Structure 1
């Protein structure tokens, strides 16, 4: 089963962010809460943590892309227990 990781809302005035750098690649494992991507908003640069644990199966944006808050940025396949 895959889980979607979305771009979170940081503040009332933040509607989008730009992808600065992916910290993980497709095929790598990631823990819930581990840094996935560095993003830049109008006011700050921040790390978005994964909300799922498992193997990254898809990164939906490229470096430099503008991403609306709430959009799915990655998909993670849950680890089989």
Structure 2
């Protein structure tokens, strides 16, 4: 089953972040809690972890993208 991960809310006053680094790769197996990508707000950098384990089948973001809370980011096969 495929599951599309969405950008979580990273702060009370933050509705959009910039993608700084993508650590997941297509075909890679990830485990719950593993960092998928790193985002930057105007105040800090935040690591976004996998909410559950699976295999990365699609990456819907790129480094430098502005991404809003709730936007699709990755697709995992679970």
RMSD: 0.9
Q: For residue 21 of structure 2, what is the aligned residue in structure 1?
A: 21
Mapping 1:1-81, distance limit 5 Å: 1-78=1-78
Verify the 8 A CA contact 1:3 1:52 in the aligned structure 2.
Answer: no
Q: What is the number of residues matched between the two proteins?
A: 78
Q: CA shift at 1:52, angstroms? A: 2.6
Query: Runs ≥4 in structure 1, deviation > 2 angstroms?
Result: none
The runs of 5 or more residues in structure 2 that have no matched partner are none
Please give the TM-score of this superposition, normalised by the length of structure 1. Answer: 0.90
Please give the TM-score of this superposition, normalised by the length of structure 2. Answer: 0.93
